[in-house]
Every structure is written in C-alpha cells, then in structure tokens.
Structure 1
Amino acid sequence: MTSSVPTFSTAALREAYKSFLGAAAGHVLLTGHSHQAWPDAAKEALARCFDDAARFVDEKWGEAVFPLADRVGSKILARLGFAEDDPITFGSNTHELVYRLLSALPRDARVVTTTSEFHSAYRQLSRLAEDGLRVTWVPGFPRPSLTDRLVAAISAGADLAIVSGVFFEDSFILPGLREVAGAARKAGALLLVDAYHGFNVAPLELDDDMFVTAGGYKYAQFGEGVCFLRSPRSCALRPRSTGWFADFGSLEAPRDEPGRTPVRYGDKGARFGGATFDPSGLYRAEAALGVFDSFGLDVPALRRISVAQTERIVAALDRAGIEVLSSHDPARRAGFVSARATGAHDVARRLKARGVHVDARGEALRLGPAPYVTDDEIDRGVAAAIEEIRAANP
C-alpha cells in the first residue's frame, strides 16, 4: 500500500526528531494519540528557558514568559481556527481549567455531558454532583444518534454542556457539533468543547461563542504542562477558583479591603488564570510549532497525513478480520484507530515487550500514528497487534 500523501517527506521530517527516534530505534511508536515524539528543537528550547531564568531572574515573567505565552497562544488559536487575539488561558492540565469554569457557575447548576468524557471531567463532575451539581449523563453509545441525544438533553434545560469534539475511546468525531451549539444557545447554556483529540490533527466545527479546552501533550508534541482554555470575547464570568495570575496587572496597586469591593479579574484570558506555573512547556511548545511551520505542516496537511495513516491501519485490520471500533468513515475518525481486543491492556503490555507501543482503554486497543512514523513501521506494528489480538482470543 502506498501513501496518499506523496509530496510529504517522512524521511526529511524524521531528521528533526533524532534524539527521540534514536532512543526508540527498532521500536514502533503507535502512541501518537497519547505522547508524540518531541523534536530536537524542544531540547534547545529548554536550554533557552534556563538561560532566560538566569538572565532575568524573577523578572522573567514580564520580560520573557508572558510575551512567549502570547506568541504561543496566537499560534494555537490559529490552528484551532479562531482569531489569534481571542482570549486564551494556559494551565498545567485541562482539569484545572475545566474546574475554574465550573467554579463560575452556581453550585447547583445544571450540566449536560456524556458518559464518554475524559477521566478528570468524569470524576470531577461525579464528585460535584454529590454536593448538589445537577448533572445529566447522556449515554455516549450508540455513536450515530449521540448528537440527537445531546440536543434533547440540553433543550430540556442546562446551564453548561460539556462535550468532546473527538471521543477518547474510539477517535469518533462528533457530527453536528454546531447543532449542539445551537441547542445550547436556545437553552441559554454555555458550551465547553473538549478538543484535545482534535487539536492539531482533526479540525472541528468551532464557533466564537464556544469555550474550548485542549492541550499539546498529544498531537502537538508540546509535552506536559501546556493546556489551554479558549473563551468567548464576551465572557464576563467570575470563577470562584481564582489565583493571582487572574489579575496579575494589579499587583502594584493597593489591595482592596476584603469584602468591600468585588474581586477583580484581568483582561481576556487572565479571567481564568491560576497561579505560578512551570513555563518550560511554553518554550517546548514554541519550538514544536516552529518545526511544524518549517515543514509546512499546518492542520490541513497534518490531517491529510493522519487520514492516510489511519486508513492504512483500518485496511490491515479489516483484511485480518479484526473488529475495528473506530469509524470507517474518515470524516468521523480522528487521529487513531481502536480495535476490539480481549484483555486489551494485557495485549498492550505484550506488544510493548515486542517493541510496539500502543495503549488500551477498556476492551479497545488504540493505535495512533504520527507524521514521523513510516509506512513500514505502521505495517510492522499492526501485524504484531493482529498476532497478539488473535492470541488473546483464539
């Protein structure tokens, strides 16, 4: 099978990842949906982070980090399809950002979500429901009718809807995201889209009045600690979970007397800010984005590569008679392929022992390529996965 992206040179791109790929020589990295390789430029960026700290000491925030955050934020927003000056808040993880948004709502707010959301959201909403948050759990399966179920649940009354644009179990791209958004508008509800499994690999139908959260740990090669919340320009929410970075610009002014005036919030994305964070991830992020740009890897280009790679995986699994849980329609499949496997976690461990890196969720074995993964590596990795799946279910 030949690649459907003939103008792209995988070999040339691999030269930018010598450290990571050299350390994994002989291995097949099909965890592109979880942890992609970092480019060599990211190692150099970490040295710049150290140098800026040495040069500016505690002034590094205003002299280096905040300008860096602005540059990285603009590029992230552009890759999501938003205006580059939209409000964006950085956080170490999506959990803290989602929690701050939740903290801006009444404690008994009505939240509509699905049973297929990421683990931190599922856990946090379940815990808050114990204290009065009214959560409507929309079944995540069957997938084809999920949009209809979400629209019906939101239309029945909601203050906030939380929904994935791409679901972590099977890479399913939610159809009719704008229908869900329309239902939220009619109900007077906010809409938060978890775009983590879409960011930098599968464009989503995102509108200006949506809250969008994601991070760079998966398909953007940023590494840990670079997650973000994009908020609408009109947002005036007042999160109860708030730290000093939410109004950093007022530090030099006298403190307001407690209880006499409302707590103030900074402009734009600062509204959802927390407190001091490790800025090294932002340095890696700028470096990774620079590598993408230097190879012409905008989101449409990355999407074309991803579709070709996942089609290759699906075709091989189909030929072997392995049940594919991800959609066969590329329009409904994002950056990885899920296959049914009895004892999927054990299968993943056996594959790791063979030098093939995948992961599992429930009975789904997840295989995620990346732009630097070769067709030969995909074929070897999938062949090994087929052998282990068959061995687990003789």
Structure 2
Amino acid sequence: MTESDWAVPDWTARAAALDAADPLRAYRDLFVGSEDPSVRAYLDGNSLGRPLRASVERITAFMTQAWGGRLIRGWDEQWFELPITIGDRLAATVLGAAAGQTTIGDSTTVLLYKLARGAIALRPGRNELVLDRDNFPTDRYVLESIAAEHGLTVRWIEPDPRAGVELEQLAEVVGERTALVVLSHVAYRSGYLLDAAAIARRTHEAGALLLLDLCHSVGSVPLELDSWGVDFAVGCTYKYLNGGPGSPAFAYVGRRHLDGFRQPIEGWMGRADPFGMAQGYEPAQGIRRVISGTPPILGMLAMQDTLELIEQVGMDAVRAKSMRLTEFALELVDELLTPLGIELGSPRDPVLRGGHIIIDHPSFAEVTTNLQARGVIPDFRPPHGLRIGLSPLSTSFGEVAVGIQAIRDESTRDEPGSQGRDA
C-alpha cells in the first residue's frame, strides 16, 4: 500500500469543525481523564462511562461528612430512602416514568431475576417465556434458569444479528401461553433500537407482560416507559449514567402491577416496617417491595451527578449528539474501513440505532489489543466484532476520527508496503 492510497478527506479537520459546532462540547471537560494524553480515543463509554469531576467531590464529601460525620445516623436522615429518592429522580430524568415505580439496588442480573419471577407469578397458568438468541447473555441465562426451575418453555426469536427483534418476529412466537417477553431496548451487539411501544402493544394483545433491559439505552436514547406501556424494566448505571464499576442497577415496576407484585428474594429491607423485626414476611407498599437487603449507598453517589447533568442538557440534546457521533463514525467506516473488508454489523438507519455501532472482521481480537496499547480503547465482542461506544456527554468527534483511523492502521499493519501510520 502506497502513500497515495491514503488520499482521503482530512478527517481530523472535519472532526475539529464538528467539535467546534457541538453545543455540548463544554461538558466534556467536566469528566475525569478528558485531558489524559495516554488515552487518545475512548470508544467504550457504553461499557463503562468516565467519572465526573463532581463525583470525586461528592464521594470525598460523603466519606468525610455523611459517613464520617453522621455515622449510623445517616440511615435515619437520608440513606434508608435513597434507593427510592434516586429512583424517582432517574425515572423523571431518563426513564419517562412517574414517581414511585423505580428503585436502585442489586445488580442487573439479580433485578432481572426478581422482576421476571414476579412477572411470571402475575400470569398463572401460562407456561412460556419469549426472548431472543442475541439478547445479552445474562438475560438468556437468567430466563433459562427460571424456565428450568419452574418447568416453563422458552420460545426463541431468531433475529438478524446485524439488526434486532422486529414486531413481526415477536408476533410469530407470542400467544395465549406466553407469560413474559424479555427483550433489550438497544441490542448490546448491533445497537438495534427496538420499537418498544409497538412491542408492548403486541405483547399485551396476547395477554402477556413485557420486561425491557435498558442497559444500553438509558442515558443514551429518550425513554417513555409509562406512555409506551412497558410493564417492567431493568438497567445498569455504569454505562451512560457514569455510576462507576459495579454501581447498582435499577428496577421499574409499572404502578398497575405493584399491589400484586411479589418478588422471590424476600429480605428485611423490603418488608413492611423492616425495623419491627417481626416474624414472617409482609411486603412493603409500593416499589420498596423490590428491595431485599441493605442498599449500596456508596454505589449510588456518582450517578446523581450525571442525572444532574442530563437534567441541564435534556435527553433530546443527548440523543441528537449521539446520532451525529454515530453518523460521523459510519462515514469514516465507509471511507477507511469498508475497502479493507471490514463490515458494518449495525443498522445504517440512525432511527433504528442506539448509541453504538459494531464492525466485524476476523482480525479484530488482535487489533483490539494493539489499539489499547496505543491509547485507543474500543470493545471486542465475539466472534469478531469491534464495538464503538460513543457517550454523547464525554466523547468528542476528534476521538472518533483518531480511533477509526487507528483501526485502519492496525488493520493494515501487516500488508506489504503499509506505512504503519500513527494517525
């Protein structure tokens, strides 16, 4: 490959112009690490978001004042209610849900189990669960284990791995035996954006319930859980909500289901009058009945700063930049990577796409390792996908240009005559 083969548009200049015109550009400076020269392009914000500087201050103050100063008194003063207080704020800011239906705590996997078990119990006499083969592994594993435990049948949807579950595919498998449908709002691999309102309507027409996994959509695309008619939802807070490694997940239970909802892990914090220490379990009123044990207060701190930021910016502005970022990434992929045999594994229509794209090539396991060594950090997803996650509040167009040009360079490193350029 000769130097003339690299005769492409000046993507660095184009990225600089896009950054200059970006109405959200100033927010990037609010994140820790945005100035770190060793990370030239962080393209994995949909796996772990950068921390906000405000969160460093919040956590430090909590250690020295709330925990160190108030000690056990903190439970009476704030902590006992914090899972629901933050849940209500999260619901209003990013879920499109009224208060009293959302709580924070546990991991996505544990909450998925709780909600699925509770939902199935609301549909006695039905013995089928519906989910898709390309759903995130924990969703598949949890539902398969529940099916095995309770003698239920799993009905599988087989979507196009480069797209996602379509309404017609759901209609083929959902029916009078279906108790629960479990789908991801944004597919973890392809980034396909589900038509949640239409899926909810079709599910309800069959008399079944819908549980959405929001891990790859919350904080990236606008959600309207109440108006869509979603029954249950679960999602993590360490991706676009920047809660930090292992920050607790959230659970949403539609108000119409709360009175009859019983989840299987009946712990003391979810009991009516938990400090009464009484014999026997009586579920608390409302969303508190989803809680089992002591909530992870430290893990709830950082996400509050991102919620505050999104309240200032608005989810429509976040979504608009997300679409611009992925569109720019696709331009670069088409120009620089497609000629190398690299294929797009995501929907091309931005309306059908969440906040990330994936590209496929057999060399990408090795390429991803080499990219990380040069400060470009994407995400590898088997069998040979390189996922590019673009977090709108912390990712610049310049990072996208640097990252994809680096993918080009690493993908041609062993070609005869290649220059090994460091774009």
TM-score, normalised to structure 2, is 0.83
The CA deviation at 1:391 is 4.9
Secondary structure in 2 aligned to 1:317?
Answer: helix
| Candidates 61, 66, 85, aligned match of 1:52 | 66
Structure 1 residues 166 and 328: alpha-carbon distance in aligned structure 2, compared to 1, 3 A threshold: same
Indicate the residue corresponding to 2:6 in structure 1: none
The CA deviation at 1:368 is 1.4
Distance (Å, rounded) in 2 between the aligned partners of 1:8 and 1:197: 23
Secondary structure in 1 aligned to 2:309?
Answer: helix
Indicate the residue corresponding to 1:27 in structure 2: 40
Tell me if 1:250 matches 2:266.
no
Unaligned residue ranges in structure 2 (runs of 5+): 1-13, 417-423
Report the AA paired with residue 240 of structure 1: P
Indicate the residue corresponding to 2:308 in structure 1: 290
The CA deviation at 1:314 is 0.4
Distance (Å, rounded) in 2 between the aligned partners of 1:220 and 1:392: 39
Structure 1 vs Structure 2: percent identity of aligned residues?
A: 23
Indicate the residue corresponding to 1:365 in structure 2: 386
CA contact (8 A) 2:58 2:301 kept: yes
The CA deviation at 1:254 is 6.0
CA contact (8 A) 1:115 1:139 kept: yes
Tell me if 1:38 matches 2:51.
yes
Secondary structure in 2 aligned to 1:242?
Answer: coil
Distance (Å, rounded) in 2 between the aligned partners of 1:84 and 1:95: 24
1:219-257 deviations in Å (ceiling 9; x for gaps): 11112323101111122221222211212x51343624x
Secondary structure in 2 aligned to 1:103?
Answer: helix
| Candidates 177, 186, 190, aligned match of 2:209 | 190
The CA deviation at 1:79 is 2.9
- RMSD, aligned CA: 2.4
The CA deviation at 1:300 is 0.7
Tell me if 1:311 matches 2:327.
yes
CA contact (8 A) 1:226 1:285 kept: no
Report the AA paired with residue 310 of structure 1: T
| Candidates 157, 160, 171, aligned match of 2:191 | 171
Matched pairs, number: 383
Report the AA paired with residue 229 of structure 1: A
| Candidates 229, 232, 238, aligned match of 2:251 | 229
Report the AA paired with residue 285 of structure 1: M
CA contact (8 A) 1:87 1:230 kept: yes
Distance (Å, rounded) in 2 between the aligned partners of 1:393 and 1:266: 65
Report the AA paired with residue 361 of structure 1: R
Distance (Å, rounded) in 2 between the aligned partners of 1:278 and 1:307: 34
Distance (Å, rounded) in 2 between the aligned partners of 1:335 and 1:392: 32
Distance (Å, rounded) in 2 between the aligned partners of 1:101 and 1:302: 29
1:183-240 deviations in Å (ceiling 9; x for gaps): 2212221110111111111124532442111121111111232310111112222122
Distance (Å, rounded) in 2 between the aligned partners of 1:118 and 1:230: 19
Indicate the residue corresponding to 2:5 in structure 1: none
Distance (Å, rounded) in 1 between the aligned partners of 2:407 and 2:158: 30
Q: What is the correspondence of 1:238-387 to structure 2 with a 5 Å cutoff?
A: 238-247=262-271, 249-253=272-276, 255-256=278-279, 258=280, 263-293=281-311, 296-320=312-336, 321=338, 322-362=342-382, 363-370=384-391, 371-387=393-409
Secondary structure in 2 aligned to 1:174?
Answer: coil
Indicate the residue corresponding to 1:160 in structure 2: 180
CA contact (8 A) 2:19 2:398 kept: no
CA contact (8 A) 1:5 1:308 kept: no
CA contact (8 A) 1:73 1:84 kept: no
1:232-287 deviations in Å (ceiling 9; x for gaps): 1122221222211212x51343624x5xxxx3111221121120132112211112
Distance (Å, rounded) in 2 between the aligned partners of 1:81 and 1:199: 7
Distance (Å, rounded) in 1 between the aligned partners of 2:93 and 2:192: 20
Structure 1 residues 137 and 173: alpha-carbon distance in aligned structure 2, compared to 1, 3 A threshold: same
Distance (Å, rounded) in 2 between the aligned partners of 1:26 and 1:145: 35
Structure 1 residues 9 and 82: alpha-carbon distance in aligned structure 2, compared to 1, 3 A threshold: closer
Distance (Å, rounded) in 2 between the aligned partners of 1:196 and 1:156: 29
Of 91-100 and 49-58, the range deviating more from structure 2: 49-58
CA contact (8 A) 2:88 2:99 kept: yes
Distance (Å, rounded) in 1 between the aligned partners of 2:277 and 2:333: 65
CA contact (8 A) 1:4 1:308 kept: no
Distance (Å, rounded) in 2 between the aligned partners of 1:336 and 1:273: 32
Report the AA paired with residue 404 of structure 2: V
The CA deviation at 1:156 is 5.1
Report the AA paired with residue 239 of structure 1: Q
TM-score, normalised to structure 1, is 0.89
Of 302-311 and 236-245, the range deviating more from structure 2: 236-245
Distance (Å, rounded) in 2 between the aligned partners of 1:32 and 1:393: 31
Secondary structure in 2 aligned to 1:339?
Answer: strand
Distance (Å, rounded) in 2 between the aligned partners of 1:360 and 1:277: 32
The CA deviation at 1:37 is 0.8
Of 29-38 and 237-246, the range deviating more from structure 2: 237-246
